[in-house]
Structure 1
Amino acid sequence: MRDLYIIYLDRYHLGDPLFVKKMAKQITQGPQRDCLIIHGSGEKVERTLEAQGIFPERRRGVLDVDSKEHKRLVERAVREANKEIVGSLTDEVVSTVGIQGTDRGLLRVAQHDGEEGDEVSTGKTGWLEALLKQHVVGVVSSLAKSDGGGVREVWTADAVTAIASALKESLDPTVVFLSKTGQAGVRDATGTKEDVAIDDANDAIVEPEAARHVVAAGWPAILTSPDGLWSDPVRATRLHA
Structure 2
Amino acid sequence: MKFVVKLGGAALEDPKLLHLAGKALKDLVEDGHQVAVVHGGGVQLTRTLAQMGKVSEFVSGLRVTDAETRDAALMVLAGRVNKSLVAALGQHGQSAVGLSGGDGHVFRARKKITTPDLGFVGEIASTDPRWLDAIWKMGAIPVISSIALGFDGEYYNINADEMASACAIATKADALVFLTDVPGVKGADGQVMRWLTLKEVPTLEKSAVISGGMLPKLAACKAALTHGVKRVRILPAEAAASLPDLISSRINEGTEVMVA
Question: Normalised by the size of structure 1, how large is the TM-score?
Answer: 0.78
Q: Quote the offset at 1:193 in angstroms.
A: 8.0
Does residue 89 of the first structure (1) align with residue 89 of the second (2)? yes
| Per-residue deviation, residues 2-28 of structure 1 (Å, max 9, x unmatched) | x21111212332222332222122334
| Per-residue deviation, residues 60-104 of structure 1 (Å, max 9, x unmatched) | 6543132x3332112100112101110111122112111111111
How many Å separate the matches in 1 of 2:23 and 2:113? Answer: 41
Which position in structure 1 is the counterpart of 2:189? none
Tell me if the contact between 2:86 and 2:97 (Cα under 8 Å) persists in the aligned partners: yes
Tell me if the contact between 2:2 and 2:35 (Cα under 8 Å) persists in the aligned partners: yes
Tell me if the contact between 2:101 and 2:107 (Cα under 8 Å) persists in the aligned partners: yes
Bigger Cα displacement from structure 2, 51-60 vs 15-24: 51-60
Tell me if the contact between 1:111 and 1:118 (Cα under 8 Å) persists in the aligned partners: yes
Output the amino acid matched with 2:174.
Answer: P
In the alignment, structure 2 segments of 5+ residues that lack a partner are 187-191
Which position in structure 1 is the counterpart of 2:218? 212
Specify the SS of the correspondent of 1:230: helix
| Matched residue count | 227
- The one of 216, 221, 234 aligned to 1:223: 234
Tell me if the contact between 2:40 and 2:160 (Cα under 8 Å) persists in the aligned partners: yes
Tell me if the contact between 2:10 and 2:17 (Cα under 8 Å) persists in the aligned partners: no
Bigger Cα displacement from structure 2, 90-99 vs 7-16: 7-16
Q: Quote the offset at 1:146 in angstroms.
A: 1.5
Q: Quote the offset at 1:182 in angstroms.
A: 6.8
State the Cα RMSD in Å. Answer: 3.3
How many Å separate the matches in 1 of 2:50 and 2:19? Answer: 27
1:160-175 alignment to 2 at 5 Å?
Answer: 160-168=164-172, 172-175=173-176
Identity %: 21
Does residue 77 of the first structure (1) align with residue 73 of the second (2)? no
Specify the SS of the correspondent of 1:55: coil
How many Å separate the matches in 1 of 2:168 and 2:233? Answer: 15
Specify the SS of the correspondent of 1:221: strand
Bigger Cα displacement from structure 2, 55-64 vs 75-84: 55-64
Distance 1:87-1:239 versus aligned 2 partners, 3 A rule: same
Which position in structure 1 is the counterpart of 2:100? 100
- The one of 6, 12, 30 aligned to 1:8: 6
Which position in structure 2 is the counterpart of 1:131? 135
Question: Normalised by the size of structure 2, how large is the TM-score?
Answer: 0.73
Tell me if the contact between 1:4 and 1:34 (Cα under 8 Å) persists in the aligned partners: yes
1:1-241 alignment to 2 at 5 Å?
Answer: 3-29=1-27, 31-59=31-59, 61-66=61-66, 68-79=67-78, 80-115=80-115, 118-168=122-172, 172-178=173-179, 180=181, 195-196=195-196, 207-217=213-223, 218=226, 219=229, 220-224=231-235, 225-231=239-245, 233-236=248-251, 237-240=255-258
Tell me if the contact between 1:106 and 1:123 (Cα under 8 Å) persists in the aligned partners: yes
Distance 1:193-1:60 versus aligned 2 partners, 3 A rule: closer
